[in-house]
Amino acid sequence: MLKISRAPMNTMLSVLGFVGCLLVVGCKSMPTLEQQEQLVQRENLVLDHITSRAVVNAWGEAPFYHSEFAYFFVMPDLSIIPRSRVAAGEVPKGWRGGVHAGEGVYFAYPDRGWLLVFLDERLVYREKLGPDELRALAGAWAYEARFKTGINEVSRP
């Protein structure tokens, strides 16, 4: 007959309970869309807690919009900085080597003075800029778009 000791079983149950608690705390839910919109209205742009939909609902469509596959520097505090926001050949101060890549979606609101960057539909970067800086950035996006070949476009039947 197989005899199971209670000590390993209790240890296993404790570990599973601890992991379960971590998952509940670590996977805290996003604020509701209404709560996100309220944050946006107050310009309390909390990273990783606001979706692009909430921003559009609260402020309207961005006057300037850009989407591209982008690289992001992951900082020690786990915030991320788009590669495009760092001078060519430079790295952000304090960067330790983490990099993330994905489809970055950029919204520029010159009237409000905000550049917002979304990754996986969540706000991951915000920067307060002057209207002229945001318009110049949008001009650079338009210039780059003229040279895109469409090779990476998904073909549709």
With tokens 């788009």, the residue in question is 82
Judged against a pLDDT cut of 90, whether residue 61 lies above it is answered with yes
Of 29-33, 44-48, 116-120, least confident by mean pLDDT is 29-33
Tell me what pLDDT residue 29 has: 76
Percentage of the chain beyond pLDDT 90 is 66
Beta carbons of 84 and 48 less than 8 angstroms apart? no
pLDDT digits over 83-124, tens only?
999 998 899 998 988 999 999 999 999 999 999 999 999 999
Beta carbons of 129 and 84 less than 8 angstroms apart? no
Mean pLDDT of 12-35: 57
User: Which run of H or E residues covers position 145?
Assistant: helix 131-145
Model-level pTM?
0.76
Hey, is 14 helix, strand or coil?
A: helix
Return d(Cα 60, Cα 50) in angstroms, integer.
15
**pLDDT class for 152, splitting at 50, 70, 90?**
low
Judged against a pLDDT cut of 80, whether residue 40 lies above it is answered with yes
Burial call 109-135: b when 16+ CB within 10 Å, e when fewer? bbeeebbbbbbeeebbbebebeeeebe
Judged against a pLDDT cut of 80, whether residue 51 lies above it is answered with yes
Beta carbons of 134 and 146 less than 8 angstroms apart? no
